[in-house]
A and B are shown apart, each in its own frame.
Chain A
């Protein structure tokens, strides 16, 4: 069956360092991969997405990398700030449906 999972449930980084959050997926037919950020007490917020025919996409301080060979997705956050502390979810779109992973909690140490 389809699944979206995460390698690490928690990640702690020093303020100013770069963060890398990883995600594995199993459905090679998924056409979009997405990252959402969920701050405490709030709903998930769209960060960035990438089409399946791309390898890399950059946003403001964030980069998403897609490796279709090993079915791996990562979110890189440059110069991590305290405001980046949140749970990050990856999701894949398969046949028009979004399938969410379980989330990685990112903690930023001052």
Chain B
């Protein structure tokens, strides 16, 4: 039972490079989310998708784009990485938007030099 799968687990980028973080869930959940986790900051919502075909900005969307490719997959793209985007990124899903019970992936540790 995989749950939420994120790739890659680790990534090092140079400033200005682009990359896409992949996320897939096998729980038939409608809603998916991208969070970033920084020391002393807790989890902050970047973007979310209430259902297939919709995406919305969260608390810290600047510098990111997302794509809800289908019901299973929700990707996060950094078009021009900056050192301020060094963080641990988590994808999560829930059966409905606003559910208090989120299922998280194991995270992607991203360093931007």
Binding site for B on A (CB under 8 A): 4, 32, 34, 41-46, 49, 89, 91, 93, 96-98, 100-103
Contact = CB atoms under 8 A, between A and B. Distances in A.
B41 A43 contact: no
Contacts of B103: 46
Contact of A43 (B40, B97, B104): B104
Contacts of B40: 102
A46 B107 contact: no
A98 B100 contact: yes
Given A44-B43, A89-B42, A101-B42, A49 B100 contact: yes
A89 B43 contact: yes
A91 to B, nearest CB: 8
Nearest to B6: A43
Interface of B: 4, 40-45, 90, 92, 97-98, 100-107
B22 to A, nearest CB: 15
Given A89-B43, A100-B42, A103-B42, A43 B101 contact: no
A96 B98 contact: yes
Given A49-B100, A49-B101, A98-B100, A41 B41 contact: no
A100 to B, nearest CB: 4
Given A43-B90, A44-B104, A46-B101, 15 more contacts: A34-B100, A41-B106, A41-B107, A43-B4, A43-B106, A43-B107, A45-B104, A46-B100, A46-B103, A49-B100, A91-B100, A98-B45, A98-B102, A100-B44, A102-B40
B101 to A, nearest CB: 5
A32 B42 CA distance: 18
B81 to A, nearest CB: 22
Contact of A97 (B42, B45, B105, B106): B45
